[in-house]
Amino acid sequence: MSMPMSLKFLDVSDNRLSGELSSGVMWLPELTKLLLGKNQLSGKIPPEMSSCSKLQLLDLGDNSFVGEIPPELSQLFSLEISLNLSCNQLSGNLPRNLSGLSKLTSLDISHNYLSGDLIPLTALQNLVSLNISFNSFSGELPDTPFFRKIPVFDLTSNQGLYITGNGTMRERQRGAAATSALKLAMSLLLSVGSLLLLAAAYALFRALRDSSDGESGDGEWEVTLLQKMDLSIEEVVMEMTSANVIGTGSSAIVYRVGEMAVKKMWSAGEEEDGDAFRNEIAALGSIRHRNIVRLLGYATNRRTKLLFYHLPNGSLSSMLQREGKAVAAVWEERYYIALGVAEALAYLHHDCVPTIIHGDVKAMNVLLGDAFEPYLADFGLARLANSANGGGGDCAEWEVDKAAGPPQRIAGSYGYIAPEHASMLPITEKSDVYSYGVVLL
């Protein structure tokens, strides 16, 4: 089957394609996204795949590929959104030159027969998501900030892996299983009186901790920078005053600190807070578009979660409300801003797999660059569309809240919410389009 040389996006995932990968795919020089997951493809991954030099996303998951990962894949220097090789029958060690994928943000090689150490992964500085579970990797887990924070379930069933001083993964899993059994046995023996006693003790502990926090603060900051920042976390916090507030929303308050927007998540409960925070980091780590904001970094302490964005010219909301500024009356600027936001939404709705619904499109969430180019921001309420094809399962590229369905509370900003949202009907891409229409008005 011949395909046009100008083809940029090819999705034939979740079909019954079988046999070896066709060589025709290798000679599509403009291809940026290739999704072949959830088929019955077999044989080795062709080294000629490196000819698709503009690939940003490659999904070969859920097939029957065998052999080693071709070292030539490391020549896909534009690969930055996702590389999914999970759920195959790949074996051997990781290619030593895998470090060539320096832009890659998401890598899933789980459920294979890969072995050896993880040294080739230490140079992937832009990784946001990594899953190497259910393989046969061994050796010491790299001592880097990323690997120190990686969840254990993304490493599970690699019995030879170990952390210095903490034993192997098998020993840790056995210890965890024994602890769980002990907790279960104790819970069955506890009486109602014991539960009440524990509740009272917990309440006392929280009261003492809150009192201690009032004297000693909220603990040390953990800062993760994805791009260079000129200010320290202490300088940023000092500038987060009421005079620098540039907007508030359903999930956060936003401050202007120099040329940055600092988003402080509302404390709506630890679980709910964590979901919105992880949603935003996961979404911005897996999508790339010229009109979608790039995350500079994030910081957390015991109570507070912050997100940092580049903000040289404020938000669209502040520009429209600014008095005495000629730029606010320039319709040509408004036209290009409206066009840029529309292109960002079209990318989320039609180019992302699965489809991403932003959930809170409004003027305050459109940030402006040096030349007043628009950047869609605030992905705390973003979610995957239930009707999207090509995603889901263990091999989805964005694993946050994909099975939650429509939210059980009204989320978004009043005045911008689509009527079906307020009526608790399923949310679709049309909800974003409605909010975009309000922005245009």
CATH 3.20.20.70 for domain 9-174: no
Percent of the chain with pLDDT over 90: 20
The predicted pLDDT at position 168 comes to 47
| Lowest mean pLDDT, pick from 219-223, 265-269, 301-305, 370-374 | 265-269
pLDDT at 64 over 90: yes
The predicted pLDDT at position 393 comes to 37
Helices (H), 62-168: 145-149
CA dihedral 284, 290, 292, 298 (to 10 degrees): 50
Q: What is the mean pLDDT of residues 94-118?
A: 92
DSSP string, 234-297: HHHHHT-SGGGEEEE-SSEEEEEETTEEEEEE--S-HHHHHHHHHHHHHHHHH---TTBPPEEE
pLDDT digits (tens, 9 = 90+) for 337-358: 999 999 999 988 888 777 888 8
pLDDT digits (tens, 9 = 90+) for 402-423: 334 434 444 556 566 667 665 6
- Joined together, the tokens standing for residue 441 give 């008005």
The rounded radius of gyration (Å) of the Cα atoms in the chain is 24
Phi, psi of 328 (to 5 degrees): -70, -20
Q: Which of 124-133, 285-294, 351-360 has the highest average model confidence (pLDDT)?
A: 124-133
The predicted pLDDT at position 28 comes to 82
Domain topology for 225-440: Transferase(Phosphotransferase); domain 1 (1.10.510)
Q: How confident is the model at residue 391 (pLDDT cuts 50, 70, 90)?
A: very low
Q: How confident is the model at residue 85 (pLDDT cuts 50, 70, 90)?
A: very high
- Joined together, the tokens standing for residue 290 give 């010229």
Q: Which amino acid is at 206?
A: R
Q: Which amino acid is at 139?
A: G
* Residue whose token pair is 């005079």: 243
How far from each other are the two terminal CA atoms of the chain, in whole angstroms? 47
The predicted pLDDT at position 176 comes to 46
The predicted pLDDT at position 404 comes to 40
* Average pLDDT for the chain: 77
Q: What is the mean pLDDT of residues 318-337?
A: 69
Asked if 32 and 8 touch (Cβ cutoff 8 Å), the reply is yes
Q: How confident is the model at residue 231 (pLDDT cuts 50, 70, 90)?
A: confident
The predicted pLDDT at position 216 comes to 41
Give the SS3 label for residue 310.
strand
> Alpha-carbon distance 423 to 305, whole Å?
31
pLDDT digits (tens, 9 = 90+) for 136-193: 999 888 888 888 888 888 888 888 888 764 444 444 445 444 445 555 556 565 556 6
Q: Which amino acid is at 168?
A: T
Asked if 126 and 105 touch (Cβ cutoff 8 Å), the reply is yes
In 3D space, the residue among 355, 420, 41 whose CA is nearest the CA of residue 434 turns out to be 420
229 against 342, higher pLDDT: 342
Give the SS3 label for residue 345.
helix
Phi, psi of 393 (to 5 degrees): 75, -170
Q: Active-site residues: which are they?
A: 360
Q: How confident is the model at residue 45 (pLDDT cuts 50, 70, 90)?
A: very high
